[in-house]
């Protein structure tokens, strides 16, 4: 468990990071998609990394931003702020789930921060992926189009306009990146995601094993 949790107000948004009892000198930025990653899953996931010595931090701005430049800049500023406040290696680890990958991809090719390695969990790697993914849920699709129009200035949120935004936002990057799949089990009656702490921690350990390949031996 962390010794303490620090909260940072940045751009009017709530941000936090957990400080482990015995830091290993590395930080992990989590871009969790709370629309699909239940809060209890997130807690178990983050706890695993804190126990391993990582400073783990995240931001509340990233929900419903759909990879906007505003969200990317916010993430960069948060990372830079953490690096100024804590004694950690400047090359951080990145873990993104679902729509968090929309921001993570842009961080991977940022000139202002340095990513050591990135892990994507059930990633939606483009706005077109999101549009297709939400076709079966009319309510979610409507919200997606509304938020997309606001964040990216679209007059019509159709496949062609979304594809054009993809081309502007995402560029190639050359970093160690690995994707992981998380099998989501839902309650047949209430359609709620079932929380399985063991499965979540096993997934976190898989991601951790991937990251450890890029930590220099001491």
pLDDT digits (tens, 9 = 90+) for 161-186: 999 999 988 878 889 999 998 766 55
141 contacts: CB under 8 Å, gap ≥ 6: 131, 134, 135
CATH number for region 2-125+173-213:
3.40.50.1820
What residue ranges do the domains of the chain occupy? 2-125+173-213, 127-169
What tokens does 214 get?
Answer: 């890029």
Question: Residue 79: is its pLDDT beyond 90?
Answer: yes
214 contacts: CB under 8 Å, gap ≥ 6: 93, 116, 117, 176
Cα–Cα separations (whole angstroms), residue 5 to 56, 58, 181 = 10, 11, 29
Q: What percent of the chain has pLDDT over 70?
A: 87
What's the pLDDT tens digit per position in 120-158? 998 989 999 989 988 888 998 998 899 988 889 888 888
Q: What is the pTM of this model?
A: 0.89
């Amino acid at each position: 468990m962390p010794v303490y949790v620090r909260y940072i107000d940045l751009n009017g948004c709530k941000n936090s990071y957990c400080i482990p009892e015995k830091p290993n000198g590395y930080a992990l930025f989590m871009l969790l998609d709370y629309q699909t990653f239940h809060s209890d899953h997130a807690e178990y996931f983050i706890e695993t990394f804190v126990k391993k010595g990582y400073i783990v931090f995240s931001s509340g701005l990233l929900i419903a931003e759909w990879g906007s430049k505003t969200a990317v800049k916010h993430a960069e500023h948060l990372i830079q702020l953490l690096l100024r406040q804590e004694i950690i290696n400047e090359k951080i680890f990145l873990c993104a789930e679902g729509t968090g990958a929309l921001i993570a991809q842009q961080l991977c090719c940022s000139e202002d921060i340095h990513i050591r390695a990135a892990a994507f969990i059930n990633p939606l790697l483009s706005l077109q992926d999101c549009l297709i993914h939400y076709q079966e849920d009319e309510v979610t699709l409507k919200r997606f189009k509304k938020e997309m129009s606001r964040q990216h200035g679209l007059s019509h949120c159709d496949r062609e306009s979304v594809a054009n935004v993809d081309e502007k936002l995402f560029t190639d990057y050359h970093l160690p990146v690995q994707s992981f799949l998380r099998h989501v089990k839902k309650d047949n009656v209430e359609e709620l995601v079932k929380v399985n702490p063991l499965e979540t921690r096993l997934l976190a350990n898989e991601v951790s094993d991937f990251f450890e390949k890029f930590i220099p031996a001491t």
